[in-house]
Amino acid sequence: MKKLLAEFIGTFWLVLGGCGSAVLAAAFPGLGIGFVGVSIAFGLTNLTMVYAIGHISGSHINPAVSVGLWAGGRFDSKDLLPYIVAQVLGGLLAAAILYLIASGKPGFEMGGFAANGYGEHSPGGYSMQSALICEIVMTFMFVLIVLGATHPKAPKGFAGIAIGLGLTLVHLVSIPVTNTSVNPARSTSQAIFVGGWALNELWMFWVAPIVGAILAGLVYRALAPDKE
């Protein structure tokens, strides 16, 4: 239960910090942090949680990371579903709190609410094919970074930095394409509040990250097994 609570809190912070920066700060008149600021915010949430809860639960805070670690032989299958449930619930609570904060402003409109999308709902108008490829590849690289930074032979104490910067880079590349998911829990939390088109397109942001994560787990398992 301690591990599940840690994953709940970690995913809560990821969604509140990352999506919160997009909803509350990115478009602030005259002082908006823009998509670069949002990218940094997501990276910082991941970096801080690695050091805060990494020693408790591993700080997956992302169903795709849990699946990738499982595929890479680093995570027990019996813990996979409980971790994913805790992550989704943590994201939902963060989205609810974000909604309560954002809706307190006069003239509030839900808009995109930092949801992920493709086609007309892609920030840059990218197609479903572009979004699918982007999410698979970005998740593949992010999970590869997680697996490498936490490998037994990796330098100790630096995993959080590599993982946080990795997620920042992923967002810098892919926000224009899909508003960046690489995390089904983060996508689900926002889609439930937006409804409509966001729920219709949510399948993409489960399928693509999980495919990318499984590929990363299998590739890293072949490249650098934990035991020779």
pLDDT digits (tens, 9 = 90+) for 43-97: 999 999 999 999 999 999 999 999 999 999 999 999 999 999 999 999 999 999 9
Looking at residue 29, its pLDDT comes to 66
Please state the rounded mean pLDDT for residues 187-200. 96
The two structure tokens encoding residue 225: 């097994």
Domain membership flag for residue 131: yes
List the CATH number of the domain containing 165. Answer: 1.20.1080.10
Domain membership flag for residue 228: no
Domain membership flag for residue 52: yes
Looking at residue 136, its pLDDT comes to 98
Q: Is the pLDDT of residue 228 over 60?
A: no
Domain membership flag for residue 101: yes
Domain membership flag for residue 177: yes
Range of the domain at 208: 2-223
61 in helix, strand or coil? coil
Lowest-pLDDT choice from 6-15, 89-98, 149-158, 173-182:
149-158
Task: Give per-residue pLDDT as tens, 129-140.
Answer: 999 999 999 999
> Which residues make Cβ contacts (< 8 Å) with residue 204, sequence separation at least 6?
116, 118, 128, 131, 132, 135, 178
Burial 190-213, CB ≥16 within 10 A → b, else e? bbbbbeeebeebbebbbebbbbbb
Domain membership flag for residue 216: yes
Domain membership flag for residue 202: yes
Q: pTM (2 decimals)?
A: 0.93
Please state the rounded mean pLDDT for residues 207-211. 98
Domain membership flag for residue 86: yes
Q: Is the pLDDT of residue 227 over 80?
A: no
- Cα 123 from chain centroid (whole Å): 17
Q: Is the pLDDT of residue 166 over 60?
A: yes
User: Residue 115, exposed/middle/buried by CB under 10 A (0-12, 13-18, 19+)?
Assistant: buried
DSSP assignment, residue 151? S
Number of domains making up the chain:
1
